[in-house]
Chain A
């Protein structure tokens, strides 16, 4: 257990469904991230939150909607997804949002869109 917990670990949804991914960190970090990991491709940064304020949105489609109610919790709300959105979604946290800080990752949520 890394201190970053993601639920659910696996999710299968239809293109018209609405679902949410949850991430919680117990490390006292102030920055949290969502990454997308597709097979054989580098991790893609989606969103960055620092002290629960969004500091980066990496041109992510609006069908992905993040929510950060506090520095310990991060959600990714999903609606009308496409099959190409199937991937492993990783949450991470760090002490400070600058790129020099080491990221601690959760185990990921494996999403399959039918």
Chain B
């Protein structure tokens, strides 16, 4: 069964600290993996997208990694800011024909001053 599991469910950190969010998936065959940021009351916005051959990709203070062998991805946030408070959603596409898009439940991040 195609699944995407994210951990932790929620996380509280102090402003300026780093944090890492995890995503494990069982989608096969694999097409790509995306991380989205969803602010409260808004729709998700794409942060990074990685295909099978890419194992790291950065977008400012956000760095995503992908290990296609272990089917794991992480999103590392450096020097967190209050505006990083949001839900972070891992999305994996794949399956026969690459037409399935499976969403994780998200990690809710709270950055405190």
Interface size on A, residues (CB 8 A): 22
Q: Which of B9, B100, B103 contacts A43 (CB 8 A)?
A: B103
Shortest Cβ gap from B39 to chain A (Å): 9
Per-position 1/0 for A82-114, Cβ under 8 A of B: 000000001010000111101111111010000
On whether the beta carbons of A99 and B94 are closer than 8 Å, the reply is yes
The CA of A98 and the CA of B99, in the complex, are separated in Å by 5
Count B interface residues, CB 8 Å: 26
Which of B34, B94, B100, B104 sits near A102, CB closer than 8 Å? Answer: B34
A residues near B44, Cβ cutoff 8 Å: 43, 90, 103, 105
Q: Residue-by-residue, is B39-52 near A (CB-CB < 8 Å gives 1, otherwise 0)?
A: 00111111001000
Decide: A107 and B43 in contact? CB cutoff 8 A.
Answer: yes
Residues of the A chain whose Cβ atoms lie less than 8 Å from the Cβ of B65 = none
B43 touches A2 (CB 8 A): yes
Report if A45 contacts B (CB, 8 A): yes
Q: Are A45 and B43 in contact (CB under 8 A)?
A: no
Distance in angstroms between the alpha carbons of A4 and B45 in the assembled complex: 11
Chain B interfacial positions (CB closer than 8 Å to A): 4, 9, 31-32, 34, 41-46, 49, 89, 93-95, 97-106
Give 26 pairs: A residue, B residue, CB < 8 Å, sorted on A. Answer: A2-B43, A2-B45, A40-B9, A42-B102, A42-B103, A42-B105, A42-B106, A43-B89, A90-B44, A98-B99, A99-B98, A100-B31, A100-B32, A100-B98, A102-B34, A102-B46, A102-B49, A103-B44, A103-B101, A104-B46, A105-B43, A105-B44, A105-B45, A106-B43, A108-B41, A108-B42
